[in-house]
Structure 1
């Protein structure tokens, strides 16, 4: 998708500006999460690598990656964005298995 600046008429590719748009739109929520505690409103997408995964939307606005609700196959703990993308183990059980393999 090509975007055109109304002021200068420069053309931009959607993928060039989406991270900046998300940061600008959610910076107040991100600040509150850092200062008062709580969950960050967006994160780096494990699929495309850009900071375009929006937790409230449960998907990446750039590539469309959606995290399936997942739980650790050992302890049934809900998996976070990265754990679910990497498999079906929580970080503790993944660490335990890696440690025992050494």
Structure 2
């Protein structure tokens, strides 16, 4: 059920999904120490930050398939910036 809710929030937008995840779960606090890095992630790279938050495991960190999730988030972020610049031309 939690994955369905996450997928619905992510479809609305990564920033909304990240804010709701940050407010109602402990996942963001578990993945990051402090608020500066997740706040910058929320503003600059929301898909990457969201992928990192969900791929993070408390003892191990991010490993294996988790890095693929983070990389896919980074590609989504970069494509959204590149697509916007291309559309403006």
TM-score using structure 1 length:
0.28
- Structure with max Cα Rg: 1
Q: Name the structure with the higher strand share.
A: 1
TM normalised by structure 2 equals 0.31
Question: Using CA pairs below 8 Å that are at least 6 residues apart, which structure has the higher relative contact order?
Answer: 2
